[in-house]
Amino acid sequence: MTAKKSKSKTELGAEAEVAVANYLTRHNCRILATNWRCRRGELDIICLDGDCLVFVEVKSVGRPTRWNPVERIDRRKRRRMSLAALDYLSRNEGKWDGVRFDAVIARRSGDAEWKIEHLKNAFQIEADDELS
């Protein structure tokens, strides 16, 4: 019998993103893109929630922790997401009834199912952020 190999952070993150995309689809969101990249940054998931365009940051947690995963979405990360979102908007025409940034925390320990916590409007572009 061989020992079970633990998954890397990258593998766990990829599994979490799939679980979150499935969750969003089950909650009537239409996935437009995953792991969308440009020179300014990356957006984990881009979807439509009704007529609202949503940029989703996925944070995965593979074991119990005392810190809040949303705290990892610091000012620098929010700025990179904002710049990437502006790049996406400039390349994709659409008639959206608003744009928002959500955070989704996917928690799992062992082989248990992912527990999803969806934080709508987790953050907004701050007025003093320079986006150019």
Check which CATH number belongs to the domain holding 45 and give it.
Answer: 3.40.1350.10
Report pLDDT digits (tens) over 46-82. Answer: 999 999 999 999 998 876 666 666 777 788 888 999 9
Percent of the chain with pLDDT over 70: 82
Residue 27 domain-assigned (yes or no):
yes
Residue 4 domain-assigned (yes or no):
no
pLDDT at 132: 47
**Chain centroid, CA 69 distance in Å:** 12
| Per-residue confidence band for 93, with pLDDT thresholds at 50, 70 and 90 | confident
Q: Where are the alpha helices (DSSP H) in the chain?
A: 9-26, 75-91
pLDDT at 5: 55
- The pair of three-digit structure tokens given for residue 103, joined into one six-digit string: 């955070």
CA dist., res. 34 & res. 43, Å (int): 7
Angle (CA) 118 50 72, round 5°: 25
SS3 62: coil
Which comes out higher in pLDDT, residue 1 or 35?
35
Residue 42 domain-assigned (yes or no):
yes
The whole domain housing 23 covers 9-123
**Count of the separate structural domains present in the chain:** 1
